[in-house]
């Protein structure tokens, strides 16, 4: 199926690793032009090199989504290079899970700055440029947004806020032909798990097998980054032209919430 993304310009935060990196590759395969950002310049440049080797027209910008000035530089750079923006993926993030009683103000400030304020600020910057009748925003969240468990904050609270943000924005931006959707991730193979395995001297495949077994994922395995990329690329594409205000779960059946 041709997704109709050829020539579209898509901004992806956290595009240098894991899910974001897989999505950038999928978008390049579809002929989209991609602007990606992350903090670690070496890893970002490496990702951009790989995408260019695939034939991609790619802009890499070292930027921290918690820094408003970095976000402005990211958007200005993308507009300067490509002259238009068709899609935004608020993907940058990391896990942060504690019991409320053990958490500090700094834990909450950090998580909300990364996962909520970063997405709000970047969305505000991009909205005026988003192509009307075809623009799309995808917010990458987690299943905990709908089913927060014990010891899961502040992430689940930030993600629940992201869910509300996605819905409210879909209603505000819909009349301009801009669609807004969320993806709720369960457990999906990515750089963060690879790093966690390396830190504990464990084989990453063993970790994935243990994660699937311990959480009893109905499909019996953790997800693959390319499975995320397929879903996100679809939601960004004109093929999803009547899908807005939706939260799509990508978790192999793990969550109890619909
Ligand atoms: N994989 C899962 O099982 C899972 C589950 C639930 C939710 N998620 C969510 O899915 C998204 C992608 O996660 P992932 O698993 O692909 O993680 P990952 O492999 O660790 O990749 C995270 C990406 O985000 C970037 N990033 C992190 N903090 C950033 C910041 N402040 N500013 C700009 N870029 C930043 C990282 O680059 P730098 O470190 O160089 O900045 C990297 O490119 C995250 O929002 C995560 O919370 C993932």
Give pLDDT, residue 133: 72
Output b/e per residue, 66-102; b: 16+ Cβ within 10 A: beeebbeebbebbbeebeebbbbbbbbbeebbbeeee
Whether ligand 1 lies within 6 angstroms of the CB of 240 is answered as: no
The domains of the chain are located at 9-188+225-249, 189-222
The CATH classification number of 9-188+225-249 equals 3.40.50.720
| pLDDT per residue as tens, the chain (258 positions) | 899 999 999 999 999 999 999 999 999 999 999 999 999 999 999 999 999 999 999 999 999 999 999 999 999 999 999 999 999 999 999 999 999 999 999 999 999 999 999 999 999 999 999 988 789 999 999 999 999 999 999 999 999 999 999 999 999 999 999 999 999 999 999 999 999 999 999 999 999 999 999 999 999 999 999 999 999 999 999 999 999 999 999 999 999 999
Q: Rounded CA gap, 141 and 50, in Å?
A: 26
Give pLDDT, residue 131: 80
Whether ligand 1 lies within 6 angstroms of the CB of 92 is answered as: yes
CA of 14 to the centre of ligand 1 (A): 6
Give pLDDT, residue 17: 97
**Is residue 57 a contact partner of residue 33, using CB atoms and an 8 Å limit?**
yes
CA of 75 to the centre of ligand 1 (A): 19
- If one residue of 16, 93, 148 were mutated to test the ligand 1 pocket, choosing by the most ligand atoms within 8 A of its CB, it would be 93
Whether ligand 1 lies within 6 angstroms of the CB of 61 is answered as: no
- If one residue of 15, 92, 118, 189 were mutated to test the ligand 1 pocket, choosing by the most ligand atoms within 8 A of its CB, it would be 92
Give pLDDT, residue 132: 82
Q: How far is CA 72 from CA 109, 128, 197, 243, 254, in A?
A: 21, 13, 35, 28, 37
Whether ligand 1 lies within 6 angstroms of the CB of 20 is answered as: yes
pTM for this predicted structure: 0.98
């Amino acid at each position: 199926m041709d997704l109709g993304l050829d020539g579209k310009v898509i901004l992806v935060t956290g595009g240098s690793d894991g899910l974001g990196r897989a999505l950038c590759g999928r978008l390049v395969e579809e002929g989209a032009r991609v602007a990606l950002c992350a903090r670690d310049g070496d890893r970002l440049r490496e990702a951009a090199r790989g995408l260019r080797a695939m034939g991609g027209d790619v802009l890499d910008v070292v930027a921290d989504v918690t820094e408003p000035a970095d976000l402005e530089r990211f958007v200005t750079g993308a507009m300067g290079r490509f002259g238009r923006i068709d899609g935004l993926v608020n993907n940058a993030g990391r896990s942060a899970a504690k019991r409320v009683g053990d958490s500090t103000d700094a834990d909450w400030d950090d998580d909300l700055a990364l996962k909520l304020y970063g997405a709000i600020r970047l969305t505000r910057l991009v909205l005026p440029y988003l192509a009307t009748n075809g623009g799309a925003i995808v917010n990458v969240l987690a299943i905990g947004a709908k089913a927060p468990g014990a010891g899961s904050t502040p992430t689940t609270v930030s993600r629940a806020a992201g869910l509300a943000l996605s819905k409210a924005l879909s209603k505000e931006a819909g009349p301009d032909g801009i669609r807004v959707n969320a993806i709720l991730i369960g457990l999906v193979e990515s750089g963060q798990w690879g790093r966690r395995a390396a830190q504990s001297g464990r084989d990453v495949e063993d970790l994935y097998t243990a994660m699937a077994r311990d959480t009893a994922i109905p499909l019996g395995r953790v997800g693959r980054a390319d499975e995320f990329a397929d879903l996100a690329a679809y939601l960004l594409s004109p093929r999803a032209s009547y899908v807005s205000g939706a939260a799509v779960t990508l978790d192999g059946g793990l969550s109890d919430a619909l």
